[in-house]
Amino acid sequence: MERAAAAESLAISFVPTQGKTAVYLAQGYAALGEKRKARAWLRRYEVRRDLYFQMHLRSDPPFDPLADDRAFRALLTVPRPPAGKAC
């Protein structure tokens, strides 16, 4: 968890939050089972309609644990395929 805290302390200084920063930190937190923190980082990225961002949300396996989460699904502009059936 120390590395996650270190990464977060560095990333929080980037304003506005870049898409890759939000995605990568959210993936790390999702892998650690920290769903709330993962969603919080995804919400930081303000250009949610960005196709690159949406592609990660829809197809990256690290987000499989969030697939059934209502708050996570609210970030999607198009529904996510079932876990394991990504693009």
Task: Report how far residue 49's alpha carbon sits from residue 62's, in angstroms, rounded to the nearest whole number.
Answer: 20
**Residues 10-66: pLDDT tens digits?**
556 555 567 788 898 999 999 999 999 999 999 988 877 788 889 999 889 999 999
pLDDT value, residue 16 = 57
pLDDT value, residue 12 = 66
pLDDT value, residue 45 = 85
Read off the tokens for 72.
């996570």
Task: Report how far residue 25's alpha carbon sits from residue 4's, in angstroms, rounded to the nearest whole number.
Answer: 8
Provide mean pLDDT across the span 58-79.
90
Q: What is the DSSP string of 1-31?
A: -HHHHHHHHHHTTSSSPPHHHHHHHHHHHHH
Task: Report how far residue 59's alpha carbon sits from residue 83's, in angstroms, rounded to the nearest whole number.
Answer: 9
pLDDT value, residue 78 = 74
pLDDT value, residue 77 = 84
